[in-house]
Amino acid sequence: MATAAILQEYGRKWVAMIQENILSYDTKNYIPLAERQKMAASIRSEVTKEGLTIYGGEWVFTYEYGRGPTVNDGDGAVRRNALAFIREEGIQPKGLLADGSPMDQETLAFFVSRKIHQQGTLLYRTQTQSGVLSDVINEGSVQELESKLFFEIGTAISSRLLEAIQ
């Protein structure tokens, strides 16, 4: 198997695993399924003479590390995503507001988005990783790929040396 074929095999495998992780993501970031589907679709691999590169959408690292506090004015995406997630998960708020009225899903989405805007998501605040990316591409999986590549290169060199000797 040529080195390019090995890289393509790992690229396909890693892309599929990352996509599955994104789609099954146990989100504390309030990312609705439609957004996760878009992100999963953005994951792809490319093999060039320099090696294997995995690409993802603009916010792919948010799935791994969370989202920090808002620096610039928001465009309402956090609130929209929180509301879509709350509805999709069927979350029913409990408790009363200060005026005694029951909390609804829109109000809960407001409070969730305000917390995220002020302090970032739980992943960000706890400085942890979700594993969406790091469970797939890590020291162990890279060493496994390196071993296959070294074996392939060693086999090719041995074959060429034997041909040259004969």
The model carries a pTM of 0.82
CB-based contacts of 21, cutoff 8 Å, min separation 6: 63, 131, 132, 133, 135, 136
Q: Is the pLDDT of residue 120 over 60?
A: yes
> For the chain, what are the domain ranges?
1-66+131-165, 69-119
Q: What is the pLDDT of residues 50-60, one digit of tens each?
A: 999 999 999 89
Q: Is the pLDDT of residue 155 over 90?
A: no
Instruction: Say what the pLDDT of residue 87 is.
Output: 94
Instruction: Say what the pLDDT of residue 163 is.
Output: 79
Residue identified by tokens 């953005």 is: 42
Mean of all residue pLDDT scores within the chain: 91
Instruction: Say what the pLDDT of residue 41 is.
Output: 97
Instruction: Say what the pLDDT of residue 17 is.
Output: 98
How far apart are the C-alpha atoms of 120 and 114, rounded to whole Å? Answer: 9
Q: Is the pLDDT of residue 139 over 70?
A: yes
More confident residue, 97 or 160: 97
Instruction: Say what the pLDDT of residue 29 is.
Output: 64
Phi-psi region of 141 (alpha: psi -120 to 50; beta: other; left: phi over 0): alpha
Least confident range of 19-23, 102-106, 133-137, 161-165: 161-165
Q: What is the pLDDT of residues 9-40, one digit of tens each?
A: 999 999 999 999 999 876 556 788 888 999 99
Nearest to 8 by CA among 63, 55, 52, 67: 52
Instruction: Say what the pLDDT of residue 103 is.
Output: 95
